[in-house]
Structure formats: C-alpha cells, structure tokens
Amino acid sequence: MTLLLLGCDGGGKTTFTASLCGKLLSEQTKPTTGFITKDAQRFGCPLKVWELGGGPGIRGVWPEYYSGAHAILFLVDASDAARFAEARELLHQAVAHDLVRGKPLLVVATKQDRPHAVGAAEIAEALRVHELDGSSDPGSMPLNCHVVADRLDAARLIDSGSALDLGLSWLLAAVQDGYTTLKARVERDVAEQEAKLQRQRDERKARLAAKRKAKEEAEAAEAAAAAAAATAIGGAAPDASSATPPAPAITAPSTSGVDVGLPT
C-alpha cells in the first residue's frame, strides 16, 4: 500500500515519516526539497511512504506521483494561520486531480503543542474540507476524508490510541475496504502514465534526431557548395587582357663580311 504525503513546506511531513517508520529525529529537520520514499509498517500492514516537498519549486511535479498512491495524507501546520489559504488551495488542487479524486484522504493538523494552534474542526473549516465533494454544509465531511489533530513530536513515535494513530487506522481501513478497486485503478493509472511518459520520451528523441539530421544535411550542403565554388574558380580560362606578354626572342649576331683581325 502506498501513502502519498502532501502539504506546504514546514507542515511536518518529514517528522511524520520518521515517526511512522519508528525513527526519532534528534535534530531540527529541514523542509524536503524533492522526493523521499520510505518503507514502514502499521497495524501489520506493509506501507510504502512517498514524501514530496511542499515548497513552490517542487509542487509542479506532485501530479507525477498521484497515479501510484492508494491514499493521500495532507499535513498542515495548525499554528500558522497565515498559510491556511495557501494550504487550502494546494489541497483542493490535489483532490480535484483525476488521479487523486475519490482516494481516501487523511488531513493532519500538526504542531498542536505550539501557541495558537487550532484543532481538527477549525482546520477542516479553514481548509473548507466539506467542499471537496461539492457540499455547501461546513459541518459535513466527505465520506472518503478524515481530519485529525496531533502535535507530531520529532522526539517521540506515534502513540497508540493517539489522534494520529486513530486517523491512520481509519485511513488504512478505508484503503483495505476498497482495495480491489483501488489496486486495479492504481495499476491502470500507472500503466497509462508510463505509456504517456514513454511517448513523450520517444517524441523528444525523434525531435532531437530530426534536428540532428537537418543540421548534418545543412552542413553537407554548405560543404558541397563551397567545393563547387572552389572548382569553378580553379578551372576558369585566363583573361587575355591580363596575360603576361611573352619574352622577346634573342638572335645571335652575324659575322658575315666582317674582318675579325686574325693575324696572318
């Protein structure tokens, strides 16, 4: 089962991943800037956790990972009200995507130990979770969605019976209840996405080959033109007006009838 972690940078995704994998973090974590995959186990169920960075520079690649996910976890810093609108926009964009729509979703309001942190109900309202399935009732909750609040401490693991523990239990049960359908959907979506990526690679390869061929043909034509010009210049008849005149012939003097004064 594959879980995809989304949310704004600084929302606690790395801390959650470490806790789920049974590892404690001894130092302050930095926001994830790319893609991290970890193996974990919860309630006897083997899990593959995909953690995606939440910064503006990485959000554009989120959709590339939607197809392989069986469920989504969206983490939001419950103490940072200034970013609730940003988190809401990201959540709604993700859930509206064809490769995500209908998959089980767990929203986690993290950092409950910080001042001004709001609870699960307030986060659900701030993110307008009820609108994810088109409802206009702020008190309603989509059938495939659940919201919990937890401090998510890097120095401790997920406590049994905690809000996060119960939320994960709900999420895994939701996946297992519809696993046959979800599994078929994931396999189909992954195959279609891979085929699409392969077509894009083939098209890019064909464009590069065509560009290289055009360049080679242009270079060959240029070389042929240069050779033809050189041949034309080298084989032309000389201009008579500019030819060098022949040197005059030298005639030996005649000695006929001339007394050369030989002694007798």
Whether 14 is covered by a domain: the verdict is yes
Whether 57 is covered by a domain: the verdict is yes
Whether 187 is covered by a domain: the verdict is no
Whether 114 is covered by a domain: the verdict is yes
Count of the separate structural domains present in the chain: 1
Pick out the residues of the known binding site for GTP: 7-14, 54
Q: In 10 A of CB 5, how many CB atoms?
A: 27
Whether 125 is covered by a domain: the verdict is yes
Pick out the residues of the known binding site: 7-14, 32, 54
Do 74 and 126 meet the contact criterion of CB atoms below 8 Å apart? no
Q: What is the token pair recorded at 72?
A: 């989504």
Measured between alpha carbons, how far is 189 from 208 in angstroms, rounded to an integer? Answer: 28
DSSP conformation class of 222: H
- What are the pLDDT tens digits along the chain (264 aa)? 999 999 999 999 999 998 888 887 655 666 677 888 999 988 889 999 999 999 999 999 999 999 999 999 999 999 999 999 999 999 999 999 999 999 999 999 999 999 999 999 999 999 999 999 877 777 778 889 999 999 877 667 788 889 999 999 999 999 999 999 999 999 999 999 999 889 989 999 999 999 999 999 999 999 999 888 888 887 655 555 555 555 555 555 554 444 444 444
The pTM (predicted TM-score) of the whole model is: 0.76
Pick out the residues of the known binding site for Mg(2+): 14, 32
CATH number at residue 161: 3.40.50.300
Whether 190 is covered by a domain: the verdict is no
Q: In 10 A of CB 3, how many CB atoms?
A: 26
Whether 18 is covered by a domain: the verdict is yes
Do 90 and 6 meet the contact criterion of CB atoms below 8 Å apart? yes
Whether 200 is covered by a domain: the verdict is no
Residue range(s) defining the domain that contains residue 90: 2-177
**Angle at 183 (CA atoms; ends 177, 185), nearest 5 degrees:** 110
Q: Collect all residues with Cβ–Cβ distance below 8 Å to 217 and sequence separation of at least 6.
A: none
Q: Which burial class, exposed, middle or buried, applies to 232 when counting CB atoms under 10 A from its CB (0-12, 13-18, 19+)?
A: exposed
